[in-house]
Amino acid sequence: MTSAQQLLRSQRELLLNWTCDHPAPLLRWLYDADVLSSTCYLSLLEKSPSNAVAQALETACASEESSQKFLSVLKEVQDYYCSDLHLWVNTHCRSEIVSKPAPEPEKVGARTKKPKGPIAKLFKGKSKGFSPTAKPNANEDLQPTKCQKLVKLRVPISAHKTTLLKRMEQLKCYSEGNQVASNSASHIEIRYTDLFVTEDNDFTDSSQHEYFDLASRRARIYDHQSCQRIKPSQLLSPQETSGQPPKRVKVKGIAGIGKSVAVQRLVYEWAIGKSMCEFTCVFDLRFRELNLIEAPLSLLELLGERFRYLVDVLPDLLTTPHSLLFILDGLDEFKFSLQWNSPNKIIDVGSKVWVSELIVALIKGDLLPNASVILTTRPSTEAPKGFFQRCCVVLGFEEKQVQEYTTKFYKDKDVAERVFEYILNNDNIFVLSFIPLYCYIICTAMAEFFASGTQDVGDFKTLELNPPRTVSEVYFCYLLTTVKHHVLRGSAGRSTPRSEVLSLAKQQLTNLGKLAYESLLQRKIMFDVDDLRSYGVSPADVQSTFLCQILHPLKEETIEMFSFFHLTVQEHLAALYCAINLFSQEAIIQALDLWCFGLKPPSTTATPLKDINISVDKLESLQMFTRFFMGLLRARLEGHLEGLVDFSVGESDAFPARLGLWFQDQFKDRKMTNQTALNLLHCLMEFHMKETTRMAAPEIKKLNLFKMKLSVVDCAAMHYVLQFSPHTLLELNLGYSNIGNRGLWRLWSILHRCESLYLRYNSLDRQAAVLESAVLKSHECQVKKLFMCGNNLGPEGVLELWDALEHNTTVEELFLDITGITEKGTENIVQCLSRNTSLKLLTIVGNDIGEVGRSRLRELGKLRPELRIIANFVDDLGLLQAYLDWVEEIRADRDQMDSVKNVDALQSVLKGLQVAGEKVEKGEKAKKAEELQMKIHELLKSTSHLIGRK
């Protein structure tokens, strides 16, 4: 055994005693130094602290090289531990105990070349690799006169880092009572799954439910925009335009999308010395805490109160603001109004002002302009983009991250694989899974059905349900699971009927549901102790019952606040309250009139409808709640709410028909917004009763969801309802909805019944062309107009369409502008379309078909003189005007301006105009073409940042 190994072996008990209280820094640095493998590192994080350090020491002593690395790591992390360890490091790492000189440190992978922490940088002697025989260099000795300030900072900054680590290393899992999840690890290194973050154009429709707004935002992200994606760790990375890191960064995202977890990970990485090491100090401030400040105070006082162990060094820290980072988390929870347009005030760190003024000054840069600031907020909260150098939006998980999260959630890999496969194959659930907190809810709900040995212990019989298929079912299973585990905790029997489980929790669920419902109508998401008590909810129950998985305590200093741990959980409980307290058919119809259209019932005895006023402009915020209600109404009719209600709606089987008449009237007589119409389709799908849907579907003659940015689950809702319609749908307009191939596949079996089918700009490719070709070949095809403009069908895809049209007898107009058709894509056009008898109009502009392609079109024109072919933009005045209108629309709509697809399309139009412009004669067409060229040039110039990213 050689020297470094001998040293560690002989000093094992001392090292263990000094580091076992908080092993996280030691373990992480050992992992990054390749002393611990990934598997070993993660397993140690789950062990008790003393066992983790003991095993790490054992691993390090396996070889001389790893022993030397261990000692080097000790020098880097000594500031996290006691002064005895500091003395030991200074004594043993520089003494001549080791008889054999150590070799030069070997270069390890890029992963191990982490920047030194700011404390390590302050002391040059600490930053060198371990060399057992090295003697202290006089030049390395710190000069007190030069480094007095740095020495003064060392201990308090170390205390700050250690405090942050202990506070940030655990992720809350919303599990029972003691907050330790039984089915998943809670350490941030184990549970954290990276998020999808992208630059944001700050376009927000605040009237829309934040989940739907996010779904729309995600629908605009294309695979070839991957260069726009940034990791949370890159929020402060240099910008492309200036090459400088931004000083002010805004991160927005809906509730549960992972904003707070992302910044928690950032703080953890800084505190452990692995990220943002350019900052001497990071101050994390939560707006929930700032709400407690009722009197004017200075920044110095605020930080001194929040970080008391830094009081003595705050004046020194604040003299170098460029080395400070402020993280302001949860602006949406701030109860004070922010005056963004107020005149700039001269404020320094000692100026006493209201906390709202302090925050505005810090963000605007009136206070500490050289400091860095990261602000997180929900989309509905105003924080003007002009004050920030970078604005980002968190979009949650992508498919691979959903799989990663599922794998981390379950201990059993087989269960994880089966759950992920089920999620992947169920569109309704798959679309939910991109929100991390939804992922938690889904995985908790699925555990009952996929856990190993479940069937043997009777858990299936306990729930008496099949694995969930709809959003409502997912949440109901989650609720059943949390209630059941609490009721049956410590019980040997696992076959307790669901009705008995629910009856035991009836009063608590009713009280909690009423709180959720009445607060939802007021758009209130935070509650104090008095709020809970006024609804019969005891704060003590939040820790001792299943409520700990429903309500999230936010204990700050002297005030204890609560919130539902996700907005959708509040909406689901509100819907449950209404489902068990609306007894008559008439009351339910009145409720739907109120929630969907703002029609207040003239008179009612139903408790949920009394003294309720809902602003019409706030109705969209109730859409998810309404869907939950419809799903729970079905559960009630099927007897799944037994234990909460004692009888079915209306005591008869007539209610599905009565509800069918209501939906029928809405689609027949009422003018609705696109969003409302889509929500009614979702309500029908959640209710999932054929009798009701069969009555409603025939009244849908046209469905216009233009620019709705639809998800796969939206397509599933359309398909579910329209499949029950016996007649032709006059128009289905899904233009600019970005449904993609997956969405088109979900709708495929009903598309043949659409007379006018608008599929423009939907991120479709060759696979979609194959699907659409099958529709056109169907003997039942009734499509007369087909709009496929702006999709990347490519030459192979278009060849499929020509082949389908050879025998099709219904299509009269086909629009294939800007679809990626090349010369190859015209190979069979003459053969196929010369035999077609129905097609009267074909537009194929904006495609680079070459001279051979144009020759084939001329030949086709001779064979089919009645077929009007528009191959150039200047061939048709109406087409030129349509594209001018389109360009104006893009100019006015910032949402479209950031679409790389539109940049591609604009360039295609410009190229087509340039080719055709050489042959066009002077006149109105020439003027329109020139105007269109000029406007496209202007637009492309304004979107040059997108062109560069392609």
CA gap 318, 283 in Å, rounded:
12
pLDDT (0 to 100) of residue 126: 32
Q: Which helix (H) or strand (E) holds 859?
A: helix 850-863
Report the distance separating Cα 230 and Cα 773, nearest Å: 38
Q: What is the distance in angstroms between the CA of the first residue and the CA of the last residue of the chain? A: 58
414-428 pLDDT, tens digit per residue, is 999 999 999 998 888
Q: How confident is the model at residue 398 (pLDDT cuts 50, 70, 90)?
A: confident
Query: Is the predicted pLDDT of residue 167 greater than 90, yes or no?
Result: no
Question: What pLDDT, on the 0 to 100 scale, is given for residue 649?
Answer: 53
- Give phi and psi for 849, each to the nearest 5: -90, -5
Query: 438-469: string of b/e by CB count within 10 Å (b at 16+)?
Result: bbbbbbbbbbbbbbeebeeeebbebbebebbe
Higher-scoring residue by pLDDT: 786, 426: 786
pLDDT at 472 exceeding the cut of 80: yes
Backbone phi, then psi, for 248, in 5-degree steps? -125, 125
Q: Does 401 share its domain with 387?
A: no
Residue range 744-759: mean pLDDT, rounded = 95
Could you give the CA distance from residue 630 to residue 622 in angstroms, rounded to a whole number?
12
**3-state DSSP of 907-925:** HHHHHHHHHHHCCCCCCHH
Burial class for 634, CB neighbours closer than 10 Å (0-12, 13-18, 19+): buried
246 to each of 45, 226, 389, 413, 671, how far by Cα in Å? 34, 21, 5, 42, 47
The pLDDT value recorded for residue 572 is 94
Rounded Cα distance between 718 and 699, Å, is 14
Give the C-alpha distances (Å, rounded to integers) separating 53 from 188, 577, 789: 18, 50, 62
- Taking the C-alpha atoms of residue 811 and residue 837, their distance in angstroms, rounded to an integer, is 9
Q: Do 320 and 417 fall into the same domain?
A: no
Residue 207 lies in a domain: yes
What is the rounded distance in angstroms from the CA atom of residue 773 to the CA atom of residue 808? 10
Measured distance CA(347)–CA(870) in Å, rounded:
65
Residue reference for tokens 């206070």: 367
How many domains does the chain divide into?
5
Same domain flag for 362 and 502 = no
Cα separation, 92 vs 14, in Å, equals 13
| Closest among 450, 697, 771 to 757, alpha carbons compared | 771
pLDDT band for position 212 (cuts 50, 70, 90):
low
654: amino acid identity, one letter: A
Helix (H, G, I), strand (E, B) or coil at 527: strand
506: Cα separation from own chain's centroid: 33
Residues 397, 433 contacting (CB under 8 angstroms): yes
- 324-329 and 281-286: which strand pairing? parallel
Q: Between these two residues, 177 and 37, which has the higher pLDDT value?
A: 37
- What does the alpha-carbon distance between residue 266 and residue 247 come to, in Å, rounded to a whole number? 16
Q: Which amino acid type is present at position 574?
A: A
Confidence (pLDDT) at 146 = 38
d(CA 591, CA 510): 18
The answer to which of 489-498, 549-558, 608-617 has the lowest mean pLDDT is 489-498
Q: Phi/psi zone of residue 368: left (φ > 0), alpha (ψ -120 to 50 degrees), beta? A: left
pLDDT digits (tens, 9 = 90+) for 343-381: 877 889 999 999 999 999 999 999 999 999 999 998 777
Q: Which of 74, 92, 110 is the last residue of a domain?
A: 92
In a domain, 624, yes or no: yes
Q: How far is CA 636 from the centre of its chain?
A: 32
Q: Residue 64 half-sphere exposure, CB side, CA atoms within 13 Å?
A: 14
What are residue 639's phi and psi, to 5 degrees? Answer: 85, 10
Instruction: Tell me the β-bridge partners of 564.
Output: 551
Domain assignment present for residue 782? The answer is no
- Residue 663, in any domain of the structure: no
Residue 733 DSSP SS3? strand
Sheet with 702-704: strands ordered across: 702-704, 729-733, 754-758, 785-787, 813-815, 841-843, 868-870
Residue 656: per-residue pLDDT: 92
State mean pLDDT over 482-486: 77
Instruction: Single out the residue of 383, 379, 709 nearest to residue 567, CA to CA.
Output: 379
* Alpha helix ranges (H) inside 199-273: 210-219, 259-271
Which domain-ending residue is among 56, 73, 92? Answer: 92
Q: Are residues 619 and 492 in the same domain?
A: yes
Is 749 within a domain? Answer: no
- Which region among 420-429, 724-733, 753-762 has the lowest average model confidence (pLDDT)? 420-429
What does the block give as tokens for 525?
A: 């998401």
Looking at the structure, tell me whether residues 362 and 469 fall in a common domain: no
Same domain, 41 and 190: no
Q: Rounded to an integer, what distance in angstroms lies between the CA atom of residue 568 and that of residue 471?
A: 10
Pair 294, 404 in one domain: no
Q: Say which residue, 464 or 143, is predicted with more confidence.
A: 464
Look at the alpha carbons of 714, 717, 719, 725 in this order and tell me if their dihedral is positive or negative. Answer: negative
| pLDDT above 70 as % of the chain | 81
Average pLDDT, the chain: 81
What is residue 125's DSSP assignment? G
What is the torsional sign of CA 850, 851, 854, 855?
A: negative
| Together in a domain, 388 and 485 | no
Q: Is residue 704 part of a domain?
A: no
* DSSP-derived pairing of the beta strands 390-394 and 197-199: antiparallel
| Residue 756 in tokens | 């006018």
Domain that holds residue 402: 397-446
Single residue among 651, 666, 700 that ends a domain in this structure: 651
Q: Is residue 820 part of a domain?
A: no
CA distance 624 to 177: 29
- The pLDDT assigned to 918 comes to 60
pLDDT value at 486 more than 90: no
Contact of 503 with 643, CB cutoff 8 Å: yes
Cα 799 from Cα 802, distance rounded (Å): 5
Cα separation, 305 vs 303, in Å, equals: 5
Give the count of beta carbons closer than 10 Å to the beta carbon of residue 220: 20
pLDDT tens for each residue of 88-128 = 988 887 644 433 333 333 333 333 333 433 333 332 333 33
Angle of helix 585-597 relative to helix 623-637, nearest 10 degrees, comes to 160
- Give the per-residue pLDDT at 138: 37
148 domain residue, yes or no:
no
How much is the average pLDDT of 588-612? 88
574 with 482, same domain: the answer is: yes
Q: How far apart are CA 829 and CA 858, in angstroms?
A: 11
pLDDT tens for 838-850 read 999 999 988 989 8
Distances (CA, A) of 733 to 470, 704, 716, 755: 25, 5, 16, 11
| Domain match, 432 and 389 both | no
Count the Cβ atoms, other than its own, within 10 Å of residue 281: 23
Q: What region, left, alpha or beta, does residue 847 occupy, with left being phi > 0 and alpha being psi -120 to 50 degrees?
A: beta
Eight-state DSSP code of residue 3: H
Q: What is the mean pLDDT of residues 873-886?
A: 82
CA distances from 746 to 213, 428, 715 (A): 22, 11, 6
Co-location of 337 and 405 in the same domain: no
Rounded-to-integer distance, Cα 128 and Cα 301, Å: 38
* Count of Cβ atoms closer than 10 Å to residue 854 Cβ: 15
Q: Are residues 241 and 292 in the same domain?
A: yes
